Amino acid sequence: MHAELEMSGPVAAALTGIPSINHGLGIGLPPTDAGSLWRAYGLEPPPYSGMYRNLYLDIVPPSLATEHAPGLPNRQLLQPIPFDDPGDQPDPPWLAGVGSRPTVYVTLGTVYNNAPAVFSAILAGALL
């Protein structure tokens, strides 16, 4: 899965022969050209630089979508909903496969993605 602004995910998926999922960010950007990245790996750039080749999870309400969104292939509209506490529901079966160590999901987003000190601090904390 990759974000709408992350251009290497579709290339990595193509190189490994797996489908990619593009999770929209809610900003509805038009497709960006990453042709040079594809060509650097000996691949011909697909339409929209492969960003929408497989599943596209779009969280932008249709009334706010940019003009290119309705024509994108494999577009699945999502409606964000607030967290719904499962209460006394049992854990899902896949959770048993995570292991005994705590699992942490970290994203540096699009603002701090070039902050080595922040990334080092996250790694140091995870290794405690």
Q: What is the domain partition of the chain in residue ranges?
A: 2-82+93-126
Q: Are 10 and 2 in contact (CB under 8 A)?
A: yes
Is the pTM higher than 0.85? The answer reads no
Could you read off the pLDDT of 87-110 as tens digits, one per residue? Answer: 888 888 888 887 887 777 777 766
Could you read off the pLDDT of 54-63 as tens digits, one per residue? Answer: 999 988 888 8
Q: Work out the pLDDT band at 30, boundaries 50, 70, 90.
A: low
Type of residue found at 54: N
Mean pLDDT over 22-48 rounds to: 83
Q: Are 51 and 11 in contact (CB under 8 A)?
A: no
Please list, residue by residue across 80-108, b when 16 or more beta carbons sit within 10 angstroms of its beta carbon and e when fewer do.
Answer: eeeeeeeeeeeeeeeeeeeeeeeeeeeee
The chain-wide mean pLDDT, for the chain, equals: 82
Tell me what percent of the residues of the chain surpass a pLDDT of 90.
21
Q: What is the dihedral of CA 99, 100, 101, 103, to 10 degrees?
A: 50
Q: What is the pLDDT of residue 5?
A: 79
Type of residue found at 24: G
